[in-house]
C-alpha cells in the first residue's frame, strides 16, 4: 500500500478511525512532517538509550510505524509531543519525513469519542499480531490504562494482553516475518523464549524455510535454554512444563511488563529477566521495588 512508502505499518489503517466519504482525514489523526513536531519541554526524560533507538529504527524500516505518536496542536503548522518521543526520534533515524500521529483534542467529548473509536476498531478488525500489540500499547501509553483495563475493554484476558505486548520486543527481522505472514503469532511468542537474538533469527529463518510448527519452535527455544542442540530440538519430544510454572511466568511478566523465563529442574531453578537498555532495566527495578 502507498502508506508503507511513508513508513506506515500494514495494519495501521485498521487501528485509526478512517476519513469521511469526501476523503477528509478523521478528526484526531494525521500524517505530520517530523520537522513540525517538537519535543515536550516538560518531558522528564532527557537522555535516550542509543542502542534501543537503533533497534526501534530497524523495526520501523522493516515493518513501518505500528503505533502513532500522540501530539497536541500549537498552531497551524506546529505540534508538541505528548507521548512517543522514542518513536519520533527513531523515525528520524529510520529516514522518515513524516509520522502518523493522534492529535489530542482538549475537548474531552471529542477525545472520548476517539478513544471509543480506537477500541471499536481493535475489537472489530482482523489485526495481525504486531498491529494488535501496537494497538494495546497505544491504549496504555496514550490513555494511561493498565494491562487489566485494556483487557476488560477489548474482551481479552490480562495474560493475553501482556504476552501480545511482548511481541514488540522481537528483533526487526523477525517482526518482518510476522508482519508478512511468514510466521504466526504463536511462532513469534515461542521465539520470545530465546534470549540470544542471533539464534532467535536463525530459528525463525529455519521455521519459515522448513515449515516448522509452533511446537517445533518451542522445543528449539527450550533446548537452547537447557543447553541442548537446536538442530535436533524440533524432532524430540519433551516433558510438558507444569501449569503452575507457566502461570507464575505469566504473572511475573504482567507485573514487571517484561520477558520472564523460569527454569526449574524439580530441585533448583532460576528466574531470567530480559531487557533492552538501561532505561528498561531501571523501569523493571522500579516495578519490583517501587523506588
Among candidate residues 54, 62, 80, 85, the one labeled active-site is 85
Long-range contacts of 151-157 (CB under 8 A, 24+ apart): 153/119, 154/119, 154/122, 154/123, 155/123
Distance CA 45, CA 33 (A): 23
Beta strands 269-274 and 98-103 are unpaired
Residue 85 is a catalytic residue: yes
The conformational region for residue 50 under phi > 0 = left, psi -120 to 50 = alpha, else beta, is alpha
Residue with cell string 509531543:
81
Long-range contacts of 45-50 (CB under 8 A, 24+ apart): 45/85, 45/279, 48/85, 48/86, 48/89, 48/279, 49/276, 49/277, 49/278, 49/279, 49/280
Q: Which residues are catalytic?
A: 85
Amino acid at each position: 500500500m502507498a502508506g508503507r512508502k511513508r513508513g506506515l505499518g500494514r495494519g495501521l489503517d485498521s487501528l485509526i478511525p478512517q476519513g469521511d466519504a469526501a476523503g477528509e482525514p478523521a478528526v484526531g489523526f494525521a500524517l505530520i512532517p517530523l520537522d513540525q513536531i517538537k519535543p515536550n519541554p516538560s518531558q522528564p526524560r532527557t537522555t535516550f538509550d542509543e542502542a534501543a533507538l537503533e533497534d526501534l529504527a530497524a523495526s520501523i524500516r522493516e515493518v513501518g510505524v505500528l503505533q502513532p505518536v500522540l501530539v497536541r496542536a500549537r498552531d497551524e503548522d506546529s505540534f508538541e509531543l505528548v507521548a512517543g518521543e522514542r518513536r519520533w526520534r527513531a523515525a528520524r533515524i529510520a529516514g522518515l519525513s513524516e509520522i502518523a500521529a493522534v492529535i489530542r483534542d482538549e475537548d474531552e467529548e471529542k477525545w472520548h469519542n476517539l478513544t471509543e473509536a480506537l477500541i471499536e476498531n481493535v475489537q472489530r478488525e482482523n489485526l495481525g499480531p504486531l498491529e494488535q500489540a501496537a494497538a494495546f500499547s497505544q491504549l496504555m501509553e496514550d490513555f494511561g490504562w493498565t494491562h487489566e483495563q485494556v483487557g476488560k475493554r477489548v474482551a481479552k484476558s490480562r495474560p493475553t494482553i501482556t504476552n501480545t505486548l511482548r511481541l514488540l520486543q522481537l528483533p526487526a527481522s523477525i517482526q518482518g516475518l510476522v508482519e508478512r505472514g511468514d510466521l504466526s503469532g504463536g511462532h513469534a511468542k515461542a521465539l520470545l523464549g530465546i534470549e540470544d537474538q542471533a539464534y532467535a533469527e536463525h530459528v525463525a529463518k529455519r521455521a519459515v524455510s522448513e515449515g516448522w510448527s509452533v511446537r517445533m519452535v518451542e522445543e528449539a527455544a527450550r533446548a537452547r535454554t537447557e543447553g541442548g542442540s537446536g538442530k535436533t530440538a524440533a524432532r524430540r519430544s519433551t516433558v510438558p512444563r507444569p501449569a503452575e510454572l507457566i502461570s507464575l511466568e505469566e504473572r511475573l511478566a504482567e507485573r514487571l511488563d517484561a520477558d520472564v523465563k523460569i527454569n526449574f529442574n524439580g530441585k533448583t531453578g532460576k528466574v531470567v529477566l530480559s531487557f533492552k537498555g538501561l532505561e528498561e532495566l531501571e523501569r523493571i527495578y522500579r516495578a519490583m521495588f517501587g523506588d
